[in-house]
Each structure stands twice: as structure tokens, then as C-alpha cells.
């Protein structure tokens, strides 16, 4: 009889944690499909897709979706092009200040981002880049650096040098070795870092608000403005619309990469 | 076919390889033998071009390749970890070197089939490296090198991660293949048995230096330095003073061609023989090795001798025993000095 006590306590803890983590998401999910939900009803009194039609039927909604997708794709891809070779350098080359530089990427994330964006905004204002697509792309790339440097660095480091040496020894050029051996070996981790960075940029609000508004409106910004107008359902619909594909992408990364691999990316 | 001249490598002021000079004939298999950290792998990597040398030169087939990168040298290396690419099939692994050269597809396919047949893995083309056993993986790694027909095949402890039985089999197969194809090979190992079995000649290294180069029997019978003598095979060792060319080995006077000072006298366990006039002691332990017995003898002087004796000679533990050395090696300051072969009349004359 005593044995059942521990699992019972554990179950309560699990339920509490589950509620804390999933509760808000569940609420949003319910709100997205609720037409009428007034106090004191525990569940909505009327269900339906009414607000989905409302949202999708509005031209001011479609544009931020496209903007967000374009911004996120461009920013993530550009960040990958810059960060992945840098990660390879961190993993394979010895140069002065290597550890310090690598650490600085974490340090930059320890600073409250908002203050950082304010100072960037001041510079961008002078350069006339505030409110432009590329201005937002540039600041949003910052959100990707941590994922795009640390995870790929660990991945490149995890490839035994003998694998590359064997190719080089058999007559392949350094470029060929990188293309045919290093890249395929690191691909799962690179894909995971891409997805994580993509999601991070997609949900990014601070920089988009400071650099982009009011000319550039992203999905999260639209969500903010809708929430402010107290139309809970519309915000919830948007939230689900962003959340579902991002969650699917994250699940996909689990296929690519073990949690151990991700942990290694952060120096574990 | 391969010649290195005073090849040197220093890592952070630590000398890994110092002025290593040796030559390998066409079709010869040379073993670089030494304890771990002696610089043998570094020397091999310098030959491959994977580690740049600080000084000295490397010549392959009459051409100076010192300044060439690894991908421009006619060498191919088998790594200890086999280093197969697990995102490619066995056939893709083996064909990599040929694809890099840009050969025609059908030529590549034929060569890959032939290489896999040579290492006894025909039909394994579509397998993944993860589906191979350790021995099979190392064979694929060998095929991957053979297929590009390197002028010098380099092997860096290729079998050391495998179990003893498999290691012995692969060694035999490699030796047969190497003879048949006339492969010029440099094989790195820390296992002297492996070196003895495989090598036409052995290069013994210690602390970055080449100690001695010779055929297995030379190294065993005539080690030129104390390091080599201690490293190859077993020895009974005693360091004793020399006074005017005379030393005392376990109570016997021995004439040594060395200056006054200390001399190290070594005797192989099989170079001891029963003789009533010899060193007296008692049998402390008998280990049956099968073909021979290893007998530990505690001498009256308090020393311990190891003696390999034939089964017919087998003593019992605790029995009194007298032994004479039929052959001794002497070293002063690590360098070999003359010590006359002990013969019975000499022994008798020096006995008190």
C-alpha cells in the first residue's frame, strides 16, 4: 500500500506542471474556436470558426502573415549563411580570442534585449533604416545568433577530424571535403539550429516593434494590436495560426537531433 | 620508394619527432614501433601530409613531396578509428577517391567491386558503415585506400581497437594481400608482436627519435640501445658497477668493453641454462605457457631471474636450482657495449 503513495504524489506534481505549461495554450486553443464564452460558463456556450473567417477575410491580416514569413525566412537564411561558416571556424580553427568571442554570444543574450534594440534603433534612424524590411531583417538576425552559432559549433566539433582527413588524404580538395563529408555529417544539427532560429525570429516582438513599426507589421505585432482591442478570439486565432506550424517544425527537429545534441550546443 | 630525411615536428616546444630519417623499399612493409606518445603517429601523419613538418624532407618515388598537401600526395591512410563516412554506403565510401578524380562511372564501379573482392567483402556495396562489424569496417577502410592505388599505403594502428583473435586474423590477411599486391606500406603500431609478425623491417621509436631500424630478428637479438632492448621482448636486467673492464653479474665476474662507471647487463629468459656451476637459487614460481614454462627463480643473492625452460626441464616450486647465462647484452649510458659471450670454461674460471 505504501508503494502507491509516491506515484500518487508524483502524479499530482505532474498534473500541476502539465496544467501550468499546457493550461495557457489550451485556453488559447479554446478561445480560437469559441464564438461566445462569457462568465460564469466553464466552456464556451457557442463554438465555431466564425473568427477564423473574420481573420482570414481581412486584408490587414494576410499582409502581416506574408511579411512575417518573408522576414523570418530571409533573416534566418542570412543568419545561417553568416553563422554556419563562423561556427565551423570556431570548431576547427585556432585563432586568438576564440573562447572570448564564443562566450560573447551568450553575454549579448544576457543583456536586456530591449535596451540593445533602442540603441540600434537610434543608429538605424540616422541611416534611414527604421521602418524598412532590411532594417528589421538585420535586427531580427540577432535573435538567431545564439542557436546558429552554438549548436552548429558543437556539431562541427563533434565530427571526428579523421573523417575529414580521410577525404583530404584521398585527394579531395578542402571545399570538396566540406561539401561531401563535413556538411552531410553536420546536417541534422544545422537543420535543427535553422528551425529553432526560425521559430525564435517568428515570435520576436521587441525589435520588430522598435525598428519596424509602424510601416512593417509582423504577425506578433498584429496580435499585440488585436489583443489591445480586446477581441480575444481574433488574437487567439492568430496565435494558433503561428503556433501550429512552429510546433510542427520543432517536433520535426526531434527527428533530426537528440536532446543531447541540443544540450551540447549550449556547452553541456 | 619512400624516404624521409631529418623530418622534425615540434608542438608547443615539445619535440614530437626529431630528425627522423628512414627509407622504405618498393613492396616493403615497414612498422613504426614504439610506446604511445613516441611520435610514431606524428611521423606517419607527416608522411601523409596531414601534419605539416617543421624541418626535413619527404621523398616519394623520387619526387620531393614535402611541400605538397595531403590531397596531392600519392599516399592513402587507414585510420585507427576506420573513419568511414556513415552517411554514405560502403560502395560510396570506397569510390570516393575515384569520384574525386572524376573517373567514368563504369570504371569506378568495376574498381570498387575489385577492391571489395580483395578485402573479402564482395556483395557489401549497399551496406551502411553502421551495419558493419569492427573488422569489416576496417576492411572497407582498407579497400577505400587500395582502390586509388597509392604508391605508399599508410596504416595508423588499424587493428588496435579490435579483439585479439580478430586482430591476428586481419594481420595475416593484410600480410598476404600486401605481399601479393606488392604494396609499399608504413604500419604504425605499439604492439611488438604485431610488428614482429608483419614487418619486413621495424623502425623502433622512443621520445620522438628513431632508436634502431632493422629486421625483426636483428632487433630481438642485437638491440643497439637500452631502450630497444627493454622494449622488445622480455629481459632480466641488472645495473652494476664496472671497474677496469670487470663487472659482477649476480656473483659472477664478467668482462665488459666499457669505461669505469655503471653498466646495465641484460639477459633474455631463454638465454639461461641449467648448470650446477651457475647462479644458485630456488624456484619461486612456475607458469605453464604451453609450449614452454616460465620459471621465476629467487637467487641466493636476493635477485629475481625469469627463465623460459623447455617442458622436459621443468623444475618444481621450492627446488634448488643453478643457472648460467649463455648470452648477455651490456649497455652503458643507453648505448650498447661489448660483452663476450659467456662460455662454460670462462664461467668456471670466474667462479670463486
Domain count, chain A: 2
**What integer pLDDT is reported at residue A3 of this predicted model?**
52
For B28-51, write each residue's pLDDT tens digit.
999 999 998 899 999 999 999 999
- Predicted pLDDT at A255: 66
Weakest-pLDDT range from A45-59, A82-96, B231-245, B315-329: A45-59
A53 domain-assigned: no
CB contact under 8 A, A170 and B48: no
User: Mean pLDDT across the stretch B311-338?
Assistant: 88
Chain A contacts of B147, Cβ < 8 Å? Answer: none
Q: Is A168–B70 a contact, with Cβ atoms under 8 angstroms apart?
A: yes
**Percent of chain A predicted with pLDDT > 90:** 14
How do the domains of chain B map onto residue ranges? 2-225, 234-350
Q: Are residues A27 and A155 in the same domain?
A: no
Distance CA A208, CA B195 (A): 67
Nearest-angstrom CA–CA distance, B218 and A190:
55
**Do A171 and B100 make contact, defined as CB atoms within 8 angstroms?**
yes
Residue B312 or residue B42, greater confidence: B42
pLDDT at position B8 is 92
Query: pLDDT class for A182, splitting at 50, 70, 90?
Result: very high
Interface of A with B (CB under 8 A): 160, 162-163, 165-173, 176, 180-181, 184-185
- Closest by Cβ to A172, choosing from B79, B81, B100: B100
Reply yes or no on whether the pLDDT at A232 is more than 90: no
pLDDT band at B345 (very low <50, low <70, confident <90, very high): very low
> Which one of A164, A170, A183 would you mutate to disrupt binding with B, by most B Cβ within 10 Å of its Cβ?
A170
The percent of residues in chain B predicted with pLDDT above 90, rounded, is 64
CA–CA separation, A170 and A172 (whole Å) = 6
A35 shares a domain with A100: no
**Per the domain annotation, does A171 fall within a domain?**
yes
- ipTM score of complex: 0.83
Q: What is the mean pLDDT of residues A188-214?
A: 83
Residues A88, A152: Cα–Cα separation, whole Å:
7
Please report which confidence band the pLDDT of residue B127 belongs to, taking 50, 70 and 90 as the band edges. Answer: very high
Q: Which of A47-51, A161-165, A227-231, A260-264 has the lowest mean pLDDT?
A: A260-264
Nearest Cβ partner for A170 among B81, B87, B96: B96
Residue that wins the pLDDT comparison between A250 and B21: B21
Using CB atoms, which residue from A163, A169, A173 is nearest to B85?
Answer: A163
pLDDT band for position A135 (cuts 50, 70, 90): confident
Question: Cα B101–B106–B109 angle (5° rounding)?
Answer: 80
Could you tell me which CATH class the domain B234-350 is placed in?
A: mainly beta
Higher pLDDT, A178 or A45: A178
Whether residues A90 and A222 fall in one domain: yes
A176 close to A58: Cβ distance less than 8 angstroms: no
Higher-confidence residue of B145 and A125: namely: B145
Q: Measured between CA atoms, how close is A246 to chain B, in angstroms?
A: 28
CATH superfamily of the domain spanning B2-225: P-loop containing nucleotide triphosphate hydrolases (3.40.50.300)
Same domain, A34 and A111: no
Confidence of residue A1 (pLDDT cuts 50, 70, 90): very low
Q: What is the mean pLDDT of chain A?
A: 82
Mean pLDDT to the nearest integer, B270-286 = 88
| A225 and A207 assigned to the same domain | yes
Taking CA–CA distances from B49, the nearest residue in chain A reads A169
- Has residue B121 got a pLDDT over 80? yes
Q: What is the pLDDT averaged over residues A70-97?
A: 90
Answer yes or no: are the C-beta atoms of B77 and A166 closer than 8 Å.
Answer: yes
Name the residue range of residue A255's domain.
58-266
Place of cell 612498422: B31
Q: Do A162 and B148 touch (CB under 8 A)?
A: no
C-alpha cell at A18: 502539465
Specify whether the CB–CB gap between B267 and B329 falls below 8 A. yes
Asked if residue A151 and residue A41 are part of one domain, the reply reads no
Query: What's the pLDDT at B50?
Result: 93
Which range of A192-206, B107-121, B332-346 scores highest in mean pLDDT? It is B107-121
Nearest to B83 among A160, A171, A173 (CB): A160
Asked whether residue A30 falls in the same domain as residue A71, the answer is no
* Distance to chain B for A184, nearest Cα, Å: 7
pLDDT, tens digit, 9 for 90 and up, residues B196-218: 999 999 999 999 999 999 999 99
A30 and A89 belong to one structural domain: no
**Dist. CA B229–CA B236, nearest whole Å:** 11
Amino acid at each position: 500500500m505504501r508503494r502507491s503513495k509516491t506515484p500518487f504524489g508524483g502524479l499530482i506534481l505532474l498534473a500541476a506542471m502539465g496544467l501550468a505549461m499546457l493550461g495557457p495554450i489550451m485556453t488559447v486553443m479554446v478561445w480560437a474556436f469559441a464564438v461566445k464564452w462569457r462568465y460564469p460558463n466553464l466552456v464556451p456556450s457557442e463554438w465555431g470558426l466564425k473568427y477564423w473567417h473574420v481573420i482570414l477575410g481581412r486584408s490587414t491580416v494576410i499582409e502581416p502573415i506574408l511579411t512575417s514569413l518573408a522576414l523570418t525566412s530571409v533573416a534566418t537564411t542570412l543568419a545561417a549563411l553568416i553563422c554556419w561558416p563562423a561556427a565551423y571556424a570556431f570548431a576547427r580553427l585556432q585563432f586568438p580570442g576564440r573562447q572570448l568571442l564564443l562566450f560573447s554570444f551568450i553575454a549579448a543574450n544576457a543583456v536586456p534585449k530591449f535596451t540593445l534594440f533602442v540603441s540600434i534603433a537610434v543608429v538605424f534612424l540616422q541611416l534611414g533604416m527604421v521602418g524598412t524590411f532590411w532594417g528589421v531583417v538585420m535586427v531580427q538576425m540577432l535573435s538567431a545568433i545564439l542557436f546558429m552559432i552554438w549548436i552548429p559549433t558543437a556539431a562541427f566539433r563533434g565530427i571526428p577530424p579523421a573523417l575529414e582527413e580521410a577525404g583530404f588524404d584521398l585527394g579531395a580538395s578542402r571545399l570538396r571535403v566540406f561539401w561531401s563529408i563535413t556538411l552531410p555529417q553536420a546536417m541534422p544539427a544545422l537543420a535543427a539550429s535553422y528551425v529553432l532560429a526560425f521559430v525564435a525570429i517568428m515570435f520576436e516582438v521587441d525589435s520588430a516593434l522598435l525598428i519596424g513599426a509602424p510601416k512593417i507589421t509582423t504577425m506578433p505585432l498584429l496580435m499585440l494590436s488585436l489583443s489591445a482591442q480586446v477581441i480575444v478570439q481574433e488574437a487567439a486565432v492568430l496565435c494558433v495560426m503561428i503556433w501550429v506550424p512552429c510546433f510542427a517544425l520543432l517536433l520535426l527537429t526531434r527527428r533530426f537531433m537528440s536532446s543531447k545534441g541540443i544540450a551540447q550546443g549550449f556547452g553541456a | 620508394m619512400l624516404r624521409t630525411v631529418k623530418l622534425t615536428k615540434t608542438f608547443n616546444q615539445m619535440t614530437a619527432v626529431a630528425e627522423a630519417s628512414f627509407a622504405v623499399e618498393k613492396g616493403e612493409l615497414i612498422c613504426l614501433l614504439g610506446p604511445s606518445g613516441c611520435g610514431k603517429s606524428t611521423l606517419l601523419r607527416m608522411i601523409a601530409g596531414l601534419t605539416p613538418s617543421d624541418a626535413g624532407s619527404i621523398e616519394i618515388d623520387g619526387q620531393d613531396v614535402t611541400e605538397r598537401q595531403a590531397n596531392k600526395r600519392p599516399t592513402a591512410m587507414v585510420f585507427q578509428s576506420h573513419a568511414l563516412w556513415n552517411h554514405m554506403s560502403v560502395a560510396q565510401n570506397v569510390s570516393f577517391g575515384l569520384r574525386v578524380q572524376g573517373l567514368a562511372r563504369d570504371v569506378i564501379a568495376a574498381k570498387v567491386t575489385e577492391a571489395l573482392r580483395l578485402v573479402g567483402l564482395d556483395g557489401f556495396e549497399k551496406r551502411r558503415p553502421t551495419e558493419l562489424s569492427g573488422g569489416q569496417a576496417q576492411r572497407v577502410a582498407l579497400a577505400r585506400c587500395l582502390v586509388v592505388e597509392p604508391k605508399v599505403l599508410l596504416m595508423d594502428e588499424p587493428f588496435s581497437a579490435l579483439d585479439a583473435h580478430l586482430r591476428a586474423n586481419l594481420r595475416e590477411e593484410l600480410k598476404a594481400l600486401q605481399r601479393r599486391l606488392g604494396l609499399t606500406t608504413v604500419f604504425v603500431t605499439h604492439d611488438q608482436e604485431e610488428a614482429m609478425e608483419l614487418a619486413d623491417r621495424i623502425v623502433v621509436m622512443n621520445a620522438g627519435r628513431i632508436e634502431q631500424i632493422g629486421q625483426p630478428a636483428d632487433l630481438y637479438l642485437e638491440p643497439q640501445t637500452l631502450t630497444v632492448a627493454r622494449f622488445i621482448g622480455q629481459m632480466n636486467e641488472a645495473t652494476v658497477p664496472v671497474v677496469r673492464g670487470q663487472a659482477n653479474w649476480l656473483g659472477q665476474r664478467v668482462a665488459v668493453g666499457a669505461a669505469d662507471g655503471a653498466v646495465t647487463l641484460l639477459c633474455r629468459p631463454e638465454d639461461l641454462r641449467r648448470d650446477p656451476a651457475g647462479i644458485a637459487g630456488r624456484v619461486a614460481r612456475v607458469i605453464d605457457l604451453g609450449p614452454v614454462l616460465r620459471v621465476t627463480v629467487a637467487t641466493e643473492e636476493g635477485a629475481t631471474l625469469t627463465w623460459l625452460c623447455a617442458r622436459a626441464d621443468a623444475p618444481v616450486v621450492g627446488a634448488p636450482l643453478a643457472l648460467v647465462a649463455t648470452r648477455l647484452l651490456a649497455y652503458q649510458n643507453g648505448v650498447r657495449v661489448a660483452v663476450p659471450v659467456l662460455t662454460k670454461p670462462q664461467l668456471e674460471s670466474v667462479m670463486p
